[in-house]
Structure formats: structure tokens, C-alpha cells
Amino acid sequence: LTVPPPHFDAAFGDIFPALAAGATLVIHPDPGSLTGPDLLALCVEHRVSAVDTAAPLWQRWVADLAGEHLPLEIMMVGGDIVPA
């Protein structure tokens, strides 16, 4: 699951390596609207194993999904400070 929009230049650092490795991209039309349960449902439905997101979305999802098992192998967070 990639959060940066495809027209944003930083997204290319996520898109092309994933495609070169044989991954399938899941691009949500409005990732800012995803709640933690929405993210969980999307990951299960599309068998998502890696998410690249911005720190504010990650913080919301972590709070929403406390105690839940998220079927991810990789969660990449960037673009802002991630508080401890």
C-alpha cells in the first residue's frame, strides 16, 4: 500500500522498486480517510504485506489498532517526526 500520490516525485522511490521486485501496488484514492479498521480491512482484502505512509497517518492507525494483529511484514514511515 503506497500513500504518496503517484504524481508526487517521492512516490517513485516506492513505486518502481516494488514493481521491479514483482510486487502489486495498492493505491487507495484517499488514504487520509482510512481509519485503523479500514486499513486492516484493506490489507486483508488485497493481501497487503507492506505499507509506506506518513507519520501522522501511522500515528492514527497505531492508536486505532492497539491490540489488533495487522498482517504486515513491513511498515515504512517517513516525511515527519515520529514521536517515541
Q: What is the pLDDT of residues 6-28, one digit of tens each?
A: 667 767 777 888 889 998 888 88
Q: Does 58 have pLDDT greater than 80? A: yes
Which residues, in sequence order, are CB contacts of 28 under 8 Å at separation 6+?
Answer: 1, 3, 34, 42
Q: What is the pLDDT of residues 24-51, one digit of tens each?
A: 888 888 888 989 899 889 999 999 998 8
pTM: 0.75
How far apart (Å, rounded) are the C-alpha atoms in residues 56 and 45?
23
Please tell me the total number of residues recorded for the chain in this structure: 84
Residue showing cell 516506492 = 14
